[in-house]
Amino acid sequence: MNNEEVKKLHEPLFHIEKRGGVSKKKAWGIRGIGILVAVVIVSILAAIMLQADPFTFFGKMFEGAFGTTNRIWNMLRDTAILLGFALAIVPAFRMRFWNLGANGQVLMGAFACTVCMFYLYGKIPLGVLVPLMVISSVAAGMLWAAIPAVFKAFFNTNESLFTLMMNYIAESLVTFTITVWVPNGSGSLPPIIPGGLKLFDNAYILPILIIALLTVGMFFYLRISKQGYELTVVGESENTARYIGINVKKVIIRTLAISGAICGLVGFLLSGCMSGTINPQIHSGYGFTAIIVTWLAQFNPLVMAGVAFLVIFVNRGMKSGIKPAFGLTTEAFANIVTGIIFFCVLAFEFFIVYKFKYRSDVEEKMNAFKAKFKKKSAAKVATEATSDGVVASESASEAAEKANGAGDAENGENAAEKATEEVNKEEE
Amino acid sequence: MKKFLTLVLATIMAVLTLGTLATMSACGSKMTVGLITLHGESSTYDKNFIDAMKTACANLGLSDELMIISGIEEDNTCYEAAKDMVDQGCKVVFADSFGHEPFLIQAAKEFPEVQFAHATGTSSKVQNLPNFHNAFASIYEGRYLAGVAAGMKLAAMVEAGQIKASNMEGDNIIVGYVGAHPYAEVKSGYTSWFLGVQSVVPNTVMKVLFTGSWYDETAEKTAANTLINAGAAIISQHADSMGAPSACEAAGVPNVSYNGSTQTSCPNTYIVSSKINWVPYFEYLIKNTLDGKKVDTDWVGTLGNGAVALTELGSVATAAGTAEKLEEVKAQLMAGTLHVFDCSKFTVNGEHLTSYAADINGDYQPDEGVNVIKTDANGVTYFAESDVADFRSAPYFDLDIDGITVLTTTN
């Protein structure tokens, strides 16, 4: 066996390698490609399953999300609520405390709020009742989050399982209480405050306003406060934290108390401001969706707002746009599309951290290929004698297309990237 | 790279926006009818409404103007869905779940020019809004007929020696029922079904198990299996998933369904299903709305107007002679010579009812001064269920009659 053969047998076409640092520009570019891929797959799926062309399909989706004033308000309000969940879990996640119990903590907040409404609405003035609702919601959320935190701090119990289980307890508690309040009912509690609490006679402004303030607050809390620094250190390494004199137990419990308090406040918004009642599903499962939001935004509250907006856009676009437009009466298609979009977005996060490294002979061929295009696009720019960015980019995208046609998609992207960089350089 | 991407993204956005505008202006089709459902088609309850609404709209030539939003919880999302439908031009909005009612009323107050209607609700008479309506059907008659079919099967099983000692409680044969909530609609349903069974096989007792949810496939399956283990020879259910019927099919226990036939998925055990056929009401509601005519504040469907229906009989499990027997009993019910809740046929705490103050206004308290026990021309006293003239369409029979035991544990 000679060396050549060994090489052929053992070296794969490409392997995966960790990238050095990635510029923000490039990272967002990769994310953009992820969304593009999702759009393409969803378009194909829509064509096959709904016989819809992509323009109609995405048109309906936009219409569902933004088609009327009310839909736009709904978009913003739902974004605020989902962002509220994300803001609640972000300090805990930053501390590497996997709080999977946001649903339950929000539910407990909503529950405490409903208890106040159920027993006191109409009996005491609203000026007293509303602060009471807020305080008890926040306290209940805080308590529900503090229980697993105490166990984590003192007994090192697994917080993921603990917080997860607390969700089911909260749901059962609500279900049970409704059957106590409405003994022969059908499991639903009629609104106690019809239409919920409003600000300026607008049902949407209050949640949006509260969450906007919280977002800014959380941004600075994590960025510049001492407590924000402490929880980051605890997340990075408990031993380091202990060494520099941070009281780890205190930080864990305090951070979860904050996490739970925000959940409680969201619970108040859901039951007190929006529905005026409670049901065990009032959290809409956002506690889990919020995990994707915080993760994609890399724990930056401002970016989280954008990601939450995207998530809600897909949600609402499906619910009010696609489903009624195509007469879909199951969740299946909407779930598939949502799944594809998030899968693509998350999968492309991989390429921000890693890249393909090709086998040397393939690499050579590819370089030769790229060199050809480099010449071509350079020549084109030269002949057209223009530094117009549009034309330059066009030639780059043409190059990308050709490279794509030639086979490997990654290869194409690389080629396009190289070509664009070249063109940019020449422009300068 | 950045420029390239920006350009691509900008192009996509631009095309999509144009596409949106194009589709919005091109079709510009206004919606006319809105349907809000709690779950999707996987729930037999909601599927029944969805299919009926599609049929009604097709019959009226409005298929392109029907807007269905499924998966709407019983909270303010219902109000928002209703509002969205009004924005889309809907003249009539219908919601299918009991808990939707207060949120639909909220929308009805805000949009007096749109008609809102609601199944199983109890508030239209109390609210007295000109544009809010309740509707239901005398489904207890359908349940009774389904019970008769179950009774026929039970009699055939006795004859064939298929009833074992484990199916007996003393001298009585056990039947089972999976219920969602201990709510009047469910109680009325299982009591009428049980009375139907007893009309054929008098020595029966029934065990009931509640799941605490309208749709919980696992809980319904577990409940059905618990009942089977407790000796139930036949099972029926009032819960919206395929949990109970499929558990029965697996165990080979005959099943009477609700809302629709399970012939295809449970071919060996399916006997019959009672269902509310909503097409007559939907057609009435939509036509009257579009013609500017008044819609009844409270409407009840009957065997007479086709709203109470039975699906086709099961091909394997149904006993011989069932079809003829059902025709006979149906004729008696329609003629008024037979009452489902004939007070002489059942007892409560060992006594026959002479008067009962049911909860009509929906506050879960007995209404003072109300008596739902009536006497017909032949001197027969009966519980007047779904009596829309004097009371309301939604069921209010919430008594626990003798012979029915509610189980509290599953296994």
Confidence band for A363, pLDDT divided at 50, 70 and 90: confident
* Sheet with B33-36, side-by-side order of all strands: B66-69, B33-36, B92-95, B115-119, B132-137, B298-301
Q: What is the pLDDT of residues A69-85, one digit of tens each?
A: 889 999 999 999 999 99
In a domain? residue A294: yes
Q: Which residue has the higher pLDDT, A371 or B51?
A: B51
Cβ neighbours of residue B388 under 8 Å, at least 6 residues apart?
Answer: B296, B298, B299, B300
pLDDT of residue A402: 45
Coil, helix or strand at residue A124: strand
In a domain? residue A166: yes
Confidence band for B213, pLDDT divided at 50, 70 and 90: confident
What's the CA gap between A375 and A66, in Å, rounded?
46
Please tell me if residue A396 touches chain B, with a CB cutoff of 8 Å.
yes
In a domain? residue A307: yes
Return phi, psi of residue B226, to 5°: -60, -45
| C-alpha triplet B110, B113, B119: angle, nearest 5° | 75
Task: Name the percent of chain B lying above pLDDT 90.
Answer: 61
In a domain? residue A330: no
The 3-state secondary structure of chain B, one letter per residue = CHHHHHHHHHHHHHHHHHHHHHHHHHHCCCCCEEEECCCCCCCHHHHHHHHHHHHHHHHCCCHHHEEEECCCCCCHHHHHHHHHHHHCCCCEEEECCHHHHHHHHHHHHHCCCCEEEEECCCCHHHHCCCCEEEEEECHHHHHHHHHHHHHHHHHHHHHCCCCCHHHEECCEEEEEEEECCCCHHHHHHHHHHHHHHHHHCCCEEEEEEECCCCCCHHHHHHHHHHHHHCCCCCEEEECCCCHHHHHHHHHCCCEEEECCCCCCCCCCCEEEEEEECCHHHHHHHHHHHHCCCCCCCEEEECCCCCCEEECCCCCCCCCCCHHHHHHHHHHHHHHCCCCCCEHHHCCECCECCCCCCCCCCCCCCCCCCCCCEEECCCCCEEECCCCCCCCCCCCCCCCCCCCEEEECCCC
Coil, helix or strand at residue A121: strand
What angle do the packed helices A54-66 and B2-27 form, to 10 degrees? 80
Closest alpha carbon to B68 in A326, A60, A62: A326
Task: Name the percent of chain B lying above pLDDT 70.
Answer: 92
Please tell me if residue A195 touches chain B, with a CB cutoff of 8 Å.
yes
pLDDT of residue B11: 61
What's the CA gap between B256 and B269, in Å, rounded?
8
Report whether B271 contacts B253 (CB < 8 A).
Answer: no
How close does chain B come to A425, measured CA to CA in Å? 12
Instruction: Name the A residues in 151-190 with CB < 8 Å from any B CB.
Output: 175, 179, 182-188, 190
DSSP codes of every residue in A11-60: --SEEEEE-S---HHHHHHHHHHHHHHHHHHHHHHHHHHH---HHHHHHH
Joined together, the tokens standing for residue A411 give: 């290869």
Cβ neighbours of residue A306 under 8 Å, at least 6 residues apart?
Answer: A297
Q: Which residue has the higher pLDDT, A307 or A424?
A: A307
How close does chain B come to A145, measured CA to CA in Å? 25
DSSP codes of every residue in A316-357: HIIIIIIHHHTT--SSHHHHHHHHHHHHHHHHHHHHHHEEEE
Q: What is the pLDDT of residues B145-155, one digit of tens each?
A: 999 999 999 99
Contact check, Cβ <8 Å, A184/B183: yes
In a domain? residue A349: no
Confidence band for A213, pLDDT divided at 50, 70 and 90: very high
Q: How many CA atoms lie within 13 A of A385 on its CB side?
A: 0
Q: Which residues of B touch A274 (CB under 8 A)?
A: 75-76
Encoded amino acid at A207, one letter: P
**Residues A408 and A282 placed together within one structural domain of the fold:** no
CA torsion A90-A96-A101-A107 (nearest 10°) is -30
Report whether B319 contacts B152 (CB < 8 A).
Answer: yes
Closest alpha carbon to B66 in B87, B89, B44: B89
Encoded amino acid at B387, one letter: D
Q: How many CA atoms lie within 13 A of A80 on its CB side?
A: 25
Of A59, A277, A393, the CB nearest to B20: A59
Total domains in the fold of chain A: 2
Task: Name the percent of chain A lying above pLDDT 70.
Answer: 85
Please state which architecture CATH assigns to domain B139-282+284-407: 3-Layer(aba) Sandwich (3.40)
Q: Which residues of B touch A71 (CB under 8 A)?
A: 84, 87
**Residues A138 and A210 placed together within one structural domain of the fold:** yes
What's the CA gap between B248 and A424, in Å, rounded?
71
Q: What is the pLDDT of residues A403-418, one digit of tens each?
A: 444 444 444 444 444 4
pLDDT of residue B17: 58
What's the CA gap between B210 and B217, in Å, rounded?
13
Q: Which domain holds residue A161?
A: 77-316
Of A63, A70, A274, the CB nearest to B76: A274
Q: How many CA atoms lie within 13 A of A182 on its CB side?
A: 23
Instruction: Say whether pLDDT at A2 is over 60.
Output: no
Which ipTM was obtained for this model?
0.78
In a domain? residue A372: yes
What's the CA gap between A416 and A419, in Å, rounded?
5
Encoded amino acid at A286, one letter: Y
Of A68, A277, A424, the CB nearest to B87: A68
Report whether B299 contacts B129 (CB < 8 A).
Answer: no
Q: Which residue has the higher pLDDT, A140 or A284?
A: A140
Confidence band for A22, pLDDT divided at 50, 70 and 90: confident
Instruction: Say whether pLDDT at B341 is over 90.
Output: yes
Closest alpha carbon to A331 in A309, A315, A311: A315
Nearest CA in chain B to A398: B4
**Residues A245 and A371 placed together within one structural domain of the fold:** no
How close does chain B come to A111, measured CA to CA in Å? 14
Task: Name the percent of chain A lying above pLDDT 90.
Answer: 37
Compute the count of residue pairs across chains A and B with CB atoms less than 8 Å apart: 159
Please tell me if residue A418 touches chain B, with a CB cutoff of 8 Å.
no
What is the mean pLDDT of the segment spanning B314-324? 91
**Residues A127 and A193 placed together within one structural domain of the fold:** yes
How close does chain A come to B397, measured CA to CA in Å? 11
Instruction: Say whether pLDDT at A393 is over 60.
Output: no
**CATH 3.50.50.60, applies to B29-119:** no
What is the mean pLDDT of the segment spanning A214-222? 94
**Residues A303 and A413 placed together within one structural domain of the fold:** no
Instruction: Say whether pLDDT at A239 is over 80.
Output: yes
Joined together, the tokens standing for residue B293 give: 């005519």
Phi-psi region of A355 (alpha: psi -120 to 50; beta: other; left: phi over 0): beta
In a domain? residue A56: no
**Residues A155 and A227 placed together within one structural domain of the fold:** yes
**Residues A413 and A292 placed together within one structural domain of the fold:** no
pLDDT of residue B108: 94
Nearest CA in chain B to A321: B69
How close does chain B come to A160, measured CA to CA in Å? 25
Joined together, the tokens standing for residue B67 give: 């807007």
Contact check, Cβ <8 Å, B80/A39: no
pLDDT of residue B378: 86
How close does chain A come to B323, measured CA to CA in Å? 34
pLDDT of residue B389: 83
Per-chain mean pLDDT for chain A: 83
Of A58, A184, A327, the CB nearest to B68: A327
Instruction: Say whether pLDDT at B43 is over 90.
Output: no
pLDDT of residue A266: 96
What is the mean pLDDT of the segment spanning A19-36? 82
For the four alpha carbons of A201, A205, A210 and A213, in that order, the dihedral sign comes to: negative
Phi-psi region of B184 (alpha: psi -120 to 50; beta: other; left: phi over 0): alpha
Return phi, psi of residue A150, to 5°: -65, -45
Q: What is the pLDDT of residues A170-201, one digit of tens each?
A: 999 999 999 888 877 777 888 888 777 777 77
Q: What is the pLDDT of residues B159-176, one digit of tens each?
A: 999 998 999 999 999 999
Closest alpha carbon to B399 in B259, B237, B199, B195: B195
| C-alpha triplet B274, B280, B284: angle, nearest 5° | 150
**Residues A197 and A291 placed together within one structural domain of the fold:** yes
What residues does CATH 3.40.50.2300 cover in chain B? 29-119, 139-282+284-407
In a domain? residue A43: no
Contact check, Cβ <8 Å, B4/A281: no
Mutate to test the interface with B, among A75, A175, A186, A414 (most CBs of B within 10 A): A186
Of the segments A211-215, A353-357, B128-132, which one has the largest average pLDDT value? A211-215
Which range has the worst mean pLDDT, A113-122, A260-269, B87-96, B124-133? B124-133
